[in-house]
Structure 1
């Protein structure tokens, strides 16, 4: 067990600061590779399909905590934009399996590369080698924070 070395007020302030910082970093990364006119729901669906692979509208709705009808509208917009395609489920022809189109996969890959490039340049230009070492230690600590 790790002994608490920081008083609760300091830990509370650290928690608030870390939360605010994570939001700022997320916004800055989004700026580097804009998802265009996609809504947050559409972006979330693309993220699910990218991370978890093809699935059904019903499964996506469950993951997002929305009704299937609402998810159907989100998916329809993504299909119209050429980012998602549907194909019949080989095990149940009544269902449609949704997957990312090659164009969407390329868009995601390009966006990730842009965000990584921004991070790389920013780290190299704003931090000394010693600070980069400190940042590497901080990243290890942050990984521990999210590994539950």
Structure 2
């Protein structure tokens, strides 16, 4: 029987390495982890104010300002007036950002698919499918 602590450590390390390899496959430019996180938050939850984003990202509103400014200057985020509160701005992803995210995901998917096909036999690919089922049980609620 495998030791759960050893399995956990190996799985965590392997997941981190896979994440790094996938990140290498798509151009993330010079975005910081915080900037990437804000973009993914906007993609998942939709348009939001800077203060809402700061709260969702567990940071001070003052810290969100430079993140938003960098994303706006890169053409990834745009602001529009809040419909009921003229003091606030609603931030949303640009079409260019959506395209950039989709292209990045496609590049990562393509790399992983090609790597699985090139490095794993059909039997090993079936073992991987079984392992994915088990991994899904670990993370799904």
Pairwise same-fold verdict (TM > 0.5):
yes
SS in 2 for 1:85: strand
Match of 2:130 in 1: 137
- Give distance in 1, aligned partners of 2:133 and 2:92: 33
Distance 1:134 1:33 in 2: 27
Superposed CA offset, 1:60-117 (max 9, x none): 1112111001101100110011110011121323221111011111100000000000
**Partner Cα distance (1:143, 1:97) in 2:** 35
Question: What is the TM-score with the length of structure 2 in the denominator?
Answer: 0.95
1:65 aligned residue (58, 61, 65): 58
CA RMSD of aligned residues (A): 1.1
Deviation >3 Å, runs of 4+: none
* Aligned equivalent of 1:103: 96
TM-score, normalization: structure 1? 0.91
Which of 14, 17, 22 does residue 29 from structure 1 map onto? 22
Deviations 1:5-28 (A, max 9, x none): x46xx1100000000001000000
Pairs aligned (count):
141
CA distance in 2 between counterparts of 1:141 and 1:57 reads 39
After alignment, is 85-94 or 138-147 more displaced?
Answer: 85-94
